[in-house]
Copies of this chain bind each other. A is one copy, B any other.
Amino acid sequence: MSEEIDHKEESLFEAPPMAEQERMVEAILFATAEPVTVRELESRMPHGSDPAEALVYLRKRYNGRGVNVVKVGDAWAIRTAPDLGFLMRRETVETRKLSRAAVETLAIIAYHQPVTRAEIEEIRGVSVSRGTVDQLLEMEWIRFGRRRMTPGRPVTFVVTQEFLDHFGLENARDLPGLKELRAAGLLENRPPPGTMPQLGEGDTDAEEETQEGQNELFED
């Protein structure tokens, strides 16, 4: 509360010059391994600063350099240029190899989010083991989304900023092949006609909701 007031008060004073703001954003982004939101930049910089504009300049400045300014969801980070990965063998962290089930589950969550467990099971045609979901949650690549407003109010899953950061995606809309899949109707939650043996049965009412949720997430 009091910060809000401060902000209004202080914005009457002059903000630092843009070049200086750019330096500040640069320093903050360099200092941390995690992506930083514009909001947080704003809260750490002198009042009246416009980190969003500073980021435009900074991003341009690092274009083609050994490290780049990248957007991750609604946050920003500095990452080494992917073509220099070969120099970093020493820094490479052995990532746990994901099982086929985990990779598929992750892809389904990313492309169909927000998606319920029942929907994941319907798509894969097999039940999703608790361990698979737990592993993805633990890696912080997925998290719980809003509950679906259908009977039972099932939880949904969505991908996280860490997921976007890990795969170098600006946002979920940039997922490879997303447009094509949508055009082909493969992201629709098509209710099965009649009596198909169905693991995710009972969740078909959710169809409209899913569409809505998807739109929310994937559209500007």
- How far does the alpha carbon of A190 sit from the alpha carbon of B30 in the complex, in Å? 48
Q: Which interface residue of A22, A28, A45 has the most chain B CB atoms within 10 A?
A: A28
Kindly report which residue of chain B lies nearest to residue A54, judged by CB atoms.
Answer: B66
- How far does the alpha carbon of A3 sit from the alpha carbon of B3 in the complex, in Å? 58
Q: Which residues of B contact A66 (CB under 8 A)?
A: 22-28, 30
Kindly report which residue of chain B lies nearest to residue A3, judged by CB atoms.
Answer: B93
- How far does the alpha carbon of A77 sit from the alpha carbon of B91 in the complex, in Å? 15
- Judge whether A88 is part of the interface by a CB distance below 8 angstroms: yes
- Judge whether A183 is part of the interface by a CB distance below 8 angstroms: no
Are A81's CB and B32's CB within 8 A?
Answer: no
Shortest CB–CB separation between residue A206 and chain B, in angstroms?
A: 41
- Judge whether A184 is part of the interface by a CB distance below 8 angstroms: no
Q: Which residues of B contact A65 (CB under 8 A)?
A: 23, 26
- How many copies of this chain does one complex carry? 2
A binding-site residues for B, Cβ under 8 Å: 2-3, 22-28, 30-33, 44-45, 64-67, 78, 80-81, 84, 87-88, 90-91, 93, 95
Are A87's CB and B24's CB within 8 A?
Answer: yes
Shortest CB–CB separation between residue A26 and chain B, in angstroms?
A: 3
Shortest CB–CB separation between residue A157 and chain B, in angstroms?
A: 28
- How far does the alpha carbon of A134 sit from the alpha carbon of B104 in the complex, in Å? 57
Are B90's CB and A27's CB within 8 A?
Answer: no
Are A87's CB and B30's CB within 8 A?
Answer: no
Q: Give 12 A-B pairs besides A23-B84, A30-B78 with Cβ atoms closer than 8 angstroms.
A: A3-B93, A24-B84, A24-B87, A27-B67, A27-B80, A27-B81, A30-B30, A30-B66, A30-B80, A32-B90, A32-B91, A44-B90
